[in-house]
Amino acid sequence: MKVSIITVCFNSENTIVDTISSVQQQSYHDIEYIIVDGGSTDKTLQLIDKSDYRPHHFISEPDRGIYDAMNKGLALASGDIIGILNSDDFYIDSDVVFDVVEVFKSNTNIDLLLGNVDFISTQNVDKVIREYSSFKFSPWKMRFGFMPAHPGAFIKKSAYEQVGNYKLGYKIAADFDIFVRLLLVNDLCYTKINKTIVRMRLGGISTSGFRSYLVTSNEVLRSLKENNIYSNIVMVLMRLPIKLLQSFLSRVGTKK
């Protein structure tokens, strides 16, 4: 099975090398690597050019945001399975793609696979700040604003063709919206693995504090309404205290 990996970036000179290296080091070799740059003005383009691992497709031009860049990558992707690895992220080990393909080979009916993500410190990539488990996810939880970890998801190209691209009208929650269309509207088949796939640096567009939480909440509710899935603002806002409680219980359990 051919796997397309899409990296979108903009002024990512501090992290792009780690991202590219983690793809280069994969033990699975039938990989099509796509980099979509938004017209970086720092050293990002130089670092990509100097890398000894060349992307199969490379674009550098202004875009309408991260989801527009992802859609450009999807248009270029020819793999059976597609993963999106942003420029702040990297695969946790060299066997990630191999393990993902083995799951798809063993479960020929699935359209997407969901894995876990570790949020890490920008100063110390070995320091895990928070674990984001897709293994605990169920589609009904999306009514409350919960979603699987987008960087830990691998989705068949045929599934993208069925549900369409990322919607550009969302600032933060277009990935939530596409999961709504995949799992709630079209009821596509998925499986989960209790394995960390990606390490993701804190501070990105979806992890930048309370303001982004409010924007995300409004966009989550909008997506659910647009897709005729019942929810309300109280249900969506409940996810923050639930996450805080889960984090507290996790820390208590670790101390024990």
Q: Which residues contact 58 (CB under 8 A, 6 or more apart)?
A: 34, 35, 36, 37, 48
Superfamily assignment of 3-255 in CATH? Spore Coat Polysaccharide Biosynthesis Protein SpsA; Chain A (3.90.550.10)
Task: Please identify which residue in the block is written with the tokens 């080990």.
Answer: 93
Q: Name the pairing type of β-strands 112-120 and 190-201.
A: parallel
pLDDT band at 237 (very low <50, low <70, confident <90, very high): confident
Q: Which residues contact 40 (CB under 8 A, 6 or more apart)?
A: 9, 10, 11, 12, 13, 60
Span 112-130, average pLDDT = 91
pLDDT band at 163 (very low <50, low <70, confident <90, very high): very high
Span 113-117, average pLDDT = 97
pLDDT of 251 > 60? The answer is no
126-141 pLDDT tens trace: 889 888 999 989 999 9
Instruction: Confirm whether pTM is higher than 0.85.
Output: yes
Q: What percent of the chain has pLDDT over 90?
A: 79
> Which stretches does DSSP call E strand in the chain?
3-9, 31-37, 57-60, 81-84, 89-91, 112-120, 128-132, 153-156, 190-201
Domain ranges of the chain: 3-255
Residue 88 φ then ψ, to 5°:
-95, 0
170-222 pLDDT tens trace: 999 999 999 999 999 999 999 999 999 999 988 655 445 567 778 889 999 99
> In whole angstroms, what is the distance from residue 148 CA to residue 141 CA?
10
Q: Which residues contact 208 (CB under 8 A, 6 or more apart)?
A: none
**Mean of all residue pLDDT scores within the chain:** 91
